[in-house]
Chain A
Amino acid sequence: MTRQLLVGILVLLSACADSGYSGPRHTSAEDGISFARLSGWQVSRERATLLLRRPGRAATIAIRTTPRQGWSEPRDAGNVFPAVATALRALPRAHVTGPTDVDSAEYPAVAFDVDFAPPGRGHYQRRHVTLLSDTRIIHVFLVAPAGQLAPSRRDLDTIVKSIREEG
């Protein structure tokens, strides 16, 4: 009886801990990934980047993938995450916080929060998550004018949680 109870609790805990996404998915063969299809968001592809925009919101969610191979040294957490930090610090008048670990993703991931100010464009905020899948570096980031990031933050988290390597 006690053993059955323990097994039941373990099953329940594992179900609660499961961060997988089971809803409809959007698949991009070009980028080799799939992720949650969010209602109200339109997906397009520009400059080798998937862009998700929702009418009525100033925020943009972008997804960029690149193979881990093809560099002079292996791309891993030891060089990719610091490189992301360097690239984000190079944004105009950028203030970067992070990296912080992202536990909800299926792959090792870190997040950065950036405030930056493109010349003549006012202030912007960017939540940037980088995942390291088996064969790809996957960047998922949300960009919005300062103060307009919060309404789309949950959608970003859903995509980060659901993103999966395909093919």
Chain B
Amino acid sequence: MRWRWPERHGSTFFKLCILMLLAAVAFDGSSRAIAQDTSTAPTSEPAETAGAVEAPELPGHQPFTTWDVGQGIPFEAMSAAEQDGVMRQAELAETNCGYDVAQKWSVYSHEMAELAAAETARRLAGLTGTDDIGVTR
């Protein structure tokens, strides 16, 4: 009696083969992707990036990540309100205050420099304390 491959088992076997083939292809692709990812990672932190889970590439800044993570939005692509907000934030970061306060600080520091220069000049010339001499009324 000749052994025959049961048709029911045969179809299962072929399904298993196809699944294994697909799994092999999938493994091959993912390992290639990981290899590519590690080759473009920053060299300063190789240990962290090698085992890190790849973050989804969503536009904009991702919460709880540094600003260089993520794709970012080009300034030109922002709305007018967003552009205004970014510029305001940049100005605040630059001066630690708004334009008005920066102007006042500039004037104040200029006056302080003038006062210091005048005091040095008075000491050099020996005129300290003579400003109000003769001012009687």
Residues of A within 8 A of B (CB): 47-49, 51, 58-60, 62, 64-66, 71, 75, 79-80, 82-84, 86-87, 89-91, 118, 121-122, 124, 126, 130, 137, 139, 141-145
Contact = CB atoms under 8 A, between A and B. Distances in A.
Given A47-B129, A64-B130, A86-B118, A75 B124 contact: yes
Contacts of A137: 125-126
Most buried by A among B117, B126, B134, B135: B126
Contacts of B110: none
Given A90-B114, A90-B118, A83 B125 contact: yes
Given A60-B133, A124-B134, A144-B134, A86 B121 contact: yes
Nearest to A137: B126
29 contacts: A47-B129, A47-B133, A49-B130, A49-B133, A58-B137, A59-B134, A60-B133, A62-B130, A62-B133, A62-B134, A64-B127, A65-B126, A71-B124, A75-B124, A79-B124, A83-B120, A83-B124, A83-B125, A86-B117, A86-B118, A87-B122, A87-B125, A90-B118, A90-B131, A139-B126, A139-B130, A141-B130, A143-B133, A143-B134
Contacts of B118: 86-87, 89-90
B136 A122 contact: no
A60 B136 CA distance: 9
Given A64-B127, A80-B125, A139-B126, 9 more contacts: A47-B133, A49-B129, A64-B126, A65-B126, A66-B126, A87-B122, A90-B118, A139-B125, A141-B134
Contacts, number: 78
A157 B122 CA distance: 23
Main secondary structure of the interface of B (DSSP, over half): loop
B4 to A, nearest CB: 113
A64 B134 CA distance: 13
A93 B117 CA distance: 16
A90 B121 contact: yes
Interface of B: 114-115, 117-118, 120-122, 124-127, 129-137
A108 to B, nearest CB: 14
Given A47-B129, A90-B114, A143 B124 contact: no
Contact of B124 (A65, A80, A90, A141): A80
Contact of A58 (B122, B132, B136): B136
B129 A87 contact: no
A86 B134 CA distance: 19
Contacts of B131: 90-91
Contacts of A84: 121, 125, 127
Nearest to A65: B126
Contacts of A121: 135, 137
B127 A139 contact: yes
Contacts of B134: 59-60, 62, 124, 126, 141-144
